[in-house]
């Protein structure tokens, strides 16, 4: 049993100032702090994740970039070489195209949240296996359910197929809003790496899709 200082007890009795054990004068954490803290806890688990073998070949994990206080989340496939080097998603050539397209519509990348299905780079950028996807997507699901976005842009086939639970290819699903397995609307578009490979045909469609997604969530009024 906790001992009680008799002088403190007498003082409290005389002054009526009994220190309440639940009394805490530090300010309550805001919802914004709670969100950052919860995401940081997931990031810490990703750092030590061994659920698939990719942590053995990747240089580091790649969790997210941008702000979780956003209506718009971008989901790609997996980190590439530059992402693996820097520990940030979409910072290589494909990522620069995404960033430049957002900026074309007056939106800096720190106004949206950017992440991937896989948090570790597959060797030689091969597509994720089903086992890797199943092992890693619980993290993505937690990220999305904390952020509660108005819209998720699926970048490319892997993200769109997973989020829509479909075998339909990106040319069929892109540019339309769908209901996702996570319960949030998903708007698929081409992966920016695919756009770089076929720029003339794909860039105008990619640009239109990004513009439409930004307008839908109110990040771009023009
Ligand atoms: N491709 C992706 O799908 N994600 C990245 O982060 C980079 C390239």
Residue 5 has pLDDT above 70, yes or no: no
Nearest to 42 by CA among 138, 150, 159: 138
Q: Which atom of ligand 1 is nearest to the CA of 159?
A: 3
Reported as half-sphere exposure (CB side, CA atoms, 13 A), residue 144 has a value of 25
> How confident is the model over 26-84, as pLDDT tens digits?
778 898 899 999 999 999 999 999 999 999 999 999 999 999 999 999 999 999 999 99
Look-up of token digits 């790609």: 76
Does residue 95's CB lie within 6 angstroms of at least one atom of ligand 1?
yes
Which of 89, 118, 122 maximizes ligand 1 atoms within 8 Å of its Cβ, making it the mutation to test the pocket? 89
Average pLDDT, the chain: 93
Question: 74 forms bridges with which residues in the sheet?
Answer: 114, 153
Q: Find the helix or strand (DSSP H, E) in which 31 lies.
A: helix 31-47
The rounded Å distance from CA 41 to ligand 1 centre is 23
Nearest to 206 by CA among 159, 167, 153: 153
Q: In the chain, what is the straight-line distance between the N-terminal and C-terminal CA atoms, in Å?
A: 67
Q: What is the CATH number of domain 6-14+34-216?
A: 3.40.470.10
Tell me the domain boundaries of the chain: 6-14+34-216
Does residue 90's CB lie within 6 angstroms of at least one atom of ligand 1?
yes
**DSSP code of residue 109:** G
Which of 63, 76, 119 maximizes ligand 1 atoms within 8 Å of its Cβ, making it the mutation to test the pocket? 76
Q: Find the helix or strand (DSSP H, E) in which 187 lies.
A: strand 185-189
Residues whose CB falls within 8 Å of the CB of residue 64, separated by 6 or more in sequence, listed in order: 39, 43, 89, 113, 114, 115, 143
Q: How far apart are CA 47 and CA 45, in angstroms?
A: 5
> How confident is the model over 69-100, as pLDDT tens digits?
999 999 999 999 999 999 999 999 999 999 99
pTM above 0.85, yes or no: yes
Look-up of token digits 């590439």: 80
């Amino acid at each position: 049993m906790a001992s009680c200082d008799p002088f403190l007890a007498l003082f409290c009795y005389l002054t009526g100032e009994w220190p309440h054990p639940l009394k805490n004068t530090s300010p309550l954490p805001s919802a914004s702090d709670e969100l950052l803290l919860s995401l940081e806890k997931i990031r810490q688990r990703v750092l030590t994740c061994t659920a698939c073998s990719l942590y053995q070949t990747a240089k580091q994990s790649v969790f997210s970039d941008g702000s979780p206080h956003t209506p718009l989340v971008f989901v790609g496939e997996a980190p590439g070489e530059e992402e693996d080097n820097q520990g940030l998603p979409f910072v290589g050539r494909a990522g620069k195209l995404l960033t430049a397209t957002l900026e074309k519509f007056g939106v800096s990348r720190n106004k949206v949240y950017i992440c991937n299905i896989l948090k570790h780079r597959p060797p030689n950028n091969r597509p994720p296996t089903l086992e890797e996807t199943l092992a890693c997507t619980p993290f993505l699901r937690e990220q999305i359910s904390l952020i509660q976005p108005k819209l998720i842009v699926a970048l490319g086939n892997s993200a769109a197929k997973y989020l829509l639970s479909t075998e339909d290819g990106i040319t069929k699903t892109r540019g339309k809003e769908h209901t996702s397995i996570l319960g949030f609307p998903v708007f698929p578009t081409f992966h920016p790496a695919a756009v770089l490979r076929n720029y003339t045909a794909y860039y105008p469609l990619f640009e239109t899709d990004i513009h439409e997604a930004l307008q839908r969530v109110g990040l771009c009024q023009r």
